Structure formats: structure tokens, C-alpha cells
Amino acid sequence: MRPQTLEEYVGQSEVVNGPLKMLLRQGKIPSMILWGPPGTGKTTLARLLAKSASHTTSSTSSSHGPPPHRFVEISAANSGTADVKKIMDEALHRLQLTGQRTLLFIDEIQRFSRAQQDVFLPAVEKGQIVLVAATTENPSFRLQSALISRMRVFVLTKLSVDECSQVLRNALKCVQREQQELGSSDQSEASIASHIDDDLIRWIANMADGDARTALGALELALSTTDPGLDSADNLARLKTALKRTALQYDRTGDMHYDTISALHKSIRGSDADAALYWLARMVCSGDDPLFIARRLIVAASEDVDTLPALQMATATYQACQVVGLPECGENLAQCVVFLAEAPKSTRSYRAWKKAKALVEGAYNHPVPLHIRNAPTKLMRDIGYGKEYRYEPRFAHPVHQEYFPEPLRGTRFLSPPPMAALDEEEQPAQEKPLDEAEGKAQRAGEGDRNDYHHSSMQSRMASKAGVGPGSCQRIFDLGARSVDLDLLDEWEQVRNGGREWTGRQRLMRLLESLEQKPET
């Protein structure tokens, strides 16, 4: 069922019709890595590249010598270092005697250890062989960096439903053509093929989840189990029962695992509960570890939501997953995902923690001031430990006390609190004053304290930048937050049904008021 020419190859048009086509016209094949999910045509493409390059070169050459490339295929799953060295020695001898280069195709190259991969380096670097490797795992993590630097990486994507359907149609035509050539007298075979209609083909393509090998296996089962004595509807029902999806294309330890949890986390951060539920379902239905998902939800609750109820919800979900397990704990995970996605977002604590760690890891660690040191003995008290410490609960009024070492006095990690007042409903009858906390945050950012590592985010908008409706400048710094009016316009159109955000007018007045203040 494999295609015999690149013209028959289905999918990966950006790879095949891109730089590869230009190289093949010149009869050249670079050493390359084909990286993609199972069933996307890596092995088929490697064979066609060797065949196409050899055909192109031989057709443009007047010599009658051997083909310019000898194709050798091995799998790292059942080959060792001795096998590879034998192939490399033979390739070098052929090149010296006949000028014929060897195109070595290695399937699942990630199974070779890094020491085994070193065997290829000299020959690839000198151009003595063309190495074409296929892998389903990220080459950055599984292959030697020295080997990757000498090869081009082509990323193959999973087939779409239309592309997978085309593979099935081509295979069905091949089966029918073989029956005609053999002159089969069994009329049931012809009627079986007639039951494989477009609806069943698309259903198989959809269930294959982009894997052409899985789709072809399902088609073979369909051809073997279809009963010509039943009508199309009954046969379709039987086939759907037999071909019910049993596993998704998913690697619980590979890139897809981490890509999907990243998509889930970012959907929660972006407050898109529906998308977050979709990515959660992808992980749960693929049999991923529910405790891993629950741990990441705890991280999301601390990084992006920054409220105690969110953290309590996430930790309770982790405990529920421990007690219940799959599949029932999927409901616990779904409740937590929706709660975190719909909760107001804040990264103040997360960003402040990163700044504090950066200061401790990259600067001098000053001694603890004497007045806040522990003083359990008389000797400690005599040398000044705990001296002049002000015990706040003893006072009936606020007292000031410095807790930083003297060289760090005035350091600021936390940004001003988010301006929650912007999210409130606009009151048409009166103007809203600035929230007290918001005003304090603005005043705190104007002078008496230094925001470590991100002080530029605390500065107010300079007058020369332009502000307000009709201005050319539509991106502003507002405390620890940014304002991008183009992104706000997009949100109103896409997510809010074209309606104006309730806090827009309040935001515009706040920007205008900052612009009107004299520069300091």
C-alpha cells in the first residue's frame, strides 16, 4: 500500500514541496532527521527520497554505472553497534571503489545510546554517507547535539482527516485493482468493497487520529468482516463496534504529554474554561496520571490565581484523585479546572517570589539585623540580639520597623495590587474615585521604594508617548500591568459579542488622568 512516487505521497506538503523538492531536482539528499508521530509517513518518505534522487541523477547522467545511492534500512530497535559498524565499513568501501554513496535510513534512532550515535559522526561530517533518521521523540532531548548540528530536522505532522481519508481511498483502489487483475470469481469480494463508502472511510480516518498505519489496519479489518448479505447500515454499525477507538495517539512520557499539560495550564491562565476542559479530557482519556494533572493544578493555583480558595480547591482535588482514582476522579479534576479558569487572575506573589530568589541567588546575603534575631539566652541579649525590637501586638497603634538588612532597605518585590476597580460595573450617575488601595499603590511606586528587578514597570506613562482615543500610541504601562487597546478591542469583538468592556471608560479616564499629571 506504500506509494511508489512522491506524487502519490499524501500529507507533509510543506516538507515535500519545500526545500526537499529543490534538492531532489539536483539529485541531492542532505543528511536529515524526520521527526513526527507514528504513522505520518517517515519510513515511506525516506524510501521515496532515495528512489527519487537516484532516478533524477541517473536520468541526467550519461554513464551506465551503479545508481548514485544505495539504500540501506535498519531499525534501532533490533540493531546494535556491531551491525552499524559493518554497514559503515561497507559503505566506505563502496564509495572508494565505485563512487556510490550509501543512504542509511535508521528507524527509531532515539533507541540508540549516545555512544552508539557517535559512530555516525565522522562519516556524516565527511559526507561519506547520507544519514536519514526517523524518530517519534524530540531530537533535542534524545539525540547527540553534535549529530543534530550536522543534519537538517524536518518536522512531520499528524495527518488530517482529509489526508487520512485519501490514504484509505488509495488503498481501496489498490485492493480493487488487484481483484480485477487476479480475475477473482468470488463476487462477494466485489460487494464487500462496495460497502466501504465515503462515510465509513471518514469515520475510520477520524478514529485513526492522524495515524495512517492505524487507518489502514482498520480498513483491512473492515474488508475482512463486512457481510455482503447485510445492508450498508447494519454493516456500518458492526464495523463501528469492531473499530471502536481503543487508544489515542499519546505518549505519557514524551512531548505530547508536556505539550498538552502546557495547553491546559495556559488555557486556565487565559480564563478559557472550555478549552481547559478539552485539554483535560485529552489527558484523562489518554490514560495520563491524574495525580500529575492534579499537581499541575496546584501549581496553577499558586502561580496564576493567587488566592487561598484556589489553592484549597487544588489540594482538595489532589486528595480526591488519590482516594477515588480514574475514571471517577475526572469529575474532580473538571471541577477544579473550571474553578481555576473562572477565578480572577493575579501573578503578584509568583513574580515577587522570582525576584526574591534572583536577589538571594545573585547577590551578597547580608546578616540578619540584630533587632529581629532570636534571643533565647542572656548572652545573646547582652550583645544586642533582639534589642529595640518593637512587638507590634503590644501597641494600640501602627508602628514602623525595618526588617530588611540596611543595604537592602527600601527593596520592593511585590508590585502594586491589581486594580480590581476596573472590573466593576460602571455607575452612570457619578464618577468613581480611585480605590484607596490603588492610590496607595500608585504613590508607593512613585518614589520612596525601589522595585527590585522590575522598577520600570512601576513608572507611570510619559507624556510624550501619547494617550487616549485617537492617539497613535495604544500600549501603556499602568503600575505592574500593561494596557494594549488593540488587544482590548479584539477581546470585545471575539469574546464579548462586540459589546464594550464595562471597565473601558474607567480605564480611559485613568490613562488620561496620568497623562495630564506633570512629569517629575
pLDDT, tens only, 376-414: 888 888 888 888 888 887 777 777 888 889 888 888 888
Judged against a pLDDT cut of 60, whether residue 22 lies above it is answered with yes
What is the grid cell recorded at 347? 501573578
**C-alpha count within 13 angstroms, C-beta hemisphere, residue 190:** 10
Neighbours of 420 (CB within 10 A): 13
Least confident of 190-204, 231-245, 426-440, 466-480: 426-440
What is the grid cell recorded at 374? 532570636
- The pLDDT of residue 232 is 67
Maximum CA extent, the chain: 109
Strand, helix or coil at 375? coil
Judged against a pLDDT cut of 60, whether residue 158 lies above it is answered with yes
- The pLDDT of residue 295 is 94
The top-scoring range by mean pLDDT among 101-110, 236-245, 467-476 is 101-110
Least confident of 42-51, 64-73, 78-87, 402-411: 64-73
- The pLDDT of residue 36 is 87
Reported confidence tier of residue 338, pLDDT bands at 50, 70, 90:
very high
Cα 304 from Cα 307, distance rounded (Å)? 9
- The pLDDT of residue 425 is 37
Q: In whole numbers, what is the pLDDT of the chain averaged over residues?
A: 77
Reported confidence tier of residue 468, pLDDT bands at 50, 70, 90:
very low
Say which residue the cell 499528524 belongs to.
158
For CA atoms 387, 389, 394, 397, give the dihedral sign. positive
Q: Could you give the angle at the alpha carbon of 104 between the alpha carbons of 101 and 106, nearest 5°?
A: 170
- The pLDDT of residue 481 is 72
Q: For the residues 490-495, what does the mean pLDDT come to?
A: 84
DSSP code string of 161-190: HHHHHHHHHHHHHHHHHHHHHHT---HHHH
Reported confidence tier of residue 452, pLDDT bands at 50, 70, 90:
very low
What is the grid cell recorded at 317? 482535588
Cα 268 from Cα 328, distance rounded (Å)? 22
Neighbours of 128 (CB within 10 A): 17
Identity of the residue numbered 498: G
Name the residue with higher pLDDT: 24 or 204.
204
pTM beyond cutoff 0.85: no
DSSP code string of 15-60: HHTTHHHHHHHTT----EEEE--TTSSHHHHHHHHHHHHHHHHHHH
What is the grid cell recorded at 117? 550515535
- The helix or strand, by DSSP H or E, that contains position 281, with its residue range, turns out to be helix 273-285
Name the residue with higher pLDDT: 176 or 250.
176
Judged against a pLDDT cut of 50, whether residue 369 lies above it is answered with yes
Question: In 3D, which of 233, 167, 216 has the Cα closest to residue 224?
Answer: 216
Portion of the chain with pLDDT greater than 90, in percent: 12
- The pLDDT of residue 125 is 86
**Strands of 444-487, DSSP E:** 450-451, 475-478, 481-484
What is the grid cell recorded at 57? 541523477
Strand, helix or coil at 275? helix
- The pLDDT of residue 195 is 66
Name the residue with higher pLDDT: 432 or 97.
97
CA 339 to chain centre: 23
Q: For the residues 338-346, what does the mean pLDDT come to?
A: 91
Reported confidence tier of residue 334, pLDDT bands at 50, 70, 90:
very high
Name the residue with higher pLDDT: 405 or 433.
405
The phi and psi torsions of 107 (rounded to 5 degrees) equal -85, 140
